[in-house]
Structure 1
Amino acid sequence: MEAAGTEEIRLRCVEKDVLIPKLMREKAKELCVDKVEAFNHCCKESGLLMVFKCREENAALKQCLTTYYKDPQFFEQCKEEYVNEKLAFERTGIPIKNRQQKLPTSM
């Protein structure tokens, strides 16, 4: 169901244009974590002057994120992950957030 399954699934416009790009943004932030942290640190240190003082960190963050946003392979990877999560939800009725939670060890 992995690669072949993703090709058979028809995605709605909202999935292609909103939900998959949202997943891409979340994953890109994880992959650019060092740039995100540098920008956040600069902003905290600079206060109201962050617009001027953090240009370099902001540019590095934008470049890192844009690299992923424009990568067709990254889109396909996120699309496959989205479709797999969608199929798992259709099978189980349990959203991914709830499936990833651990059950209590003592009942």
Structure 2
Amino acid sequence: MDPSKAEEPELRHVEKDVLIPKLMREKAKERCSEHVHEFNRCCKDTGFLMVFKCQEENAALKQCLTQHYQDPAFFDECKREYLREKVEYQQTGIPAKNRQQKIPSSM
């Protein structure tokens, strides 16, 4: 048995197939932000004809996103981030999106 795998918790189906891929999509959009911006700009500029006129931008965006979705190292990175957030939630009871550094107003 691989010792590095022994300490890794078992993931539920929903975590492996839904929650981690959702995190991957969010992070991939950040990493492909230039392509997202170009595609959005093209869509806004062309209106209803975007299906025909923005094919090049759409193809570049899809290629960038797919590259990240199919990268096993990216999946592992997102899985580690998900597990870290899960542990923090279990310890604090506060979801990651609500967990922010709050500075007391008396400072």
TM-score by length of 1: 0.89
| Offset from partner CA, 1:42-61 (integer Å, 9 cap, x none) | 00000000000000000000
Helix, strand or coil: the match of 2:11? coil
CA distance in 2, matches of 1:6, 1:98: 31
What percent of counterpart residues are identical? 67
Query: What one-letter code is carried by the residue in structure 1 that aligns with 2:36?
Result: V
* Gaps in structure 1 of 5+ consecutive residues: none
The answer on 1:31 being equivalent to 2:35 is no
Q: Size of the alignment, in residue pairs? A: 104
Tell me if the contact between 1:6 and 1:84 (Cα under 8 Å) persists in the aligned partners.
Answer: no
Q: How far does residue 105 in structure 1 lie from its aligned partner after superposition?
A: 2.5
TM-score by length of 2: 0.89
Please name the residue that 1:15 is paired with.
15
Please name the residue that 1:72 is paired with.
72
Greater relative CO, 1 or 2 (CA 8 Å, sep 6+): 1
Q: What is the root-mean-square deviation in Å for CA atoms of aligned residues?
A: 1.9
Helix, strand or coil: the match of 1:15? helix
* Gaps in structure 2 of 5+ consecutive residues: none
Q: Which 4+ runs in 1 deviate beyond 6 A?
A: none
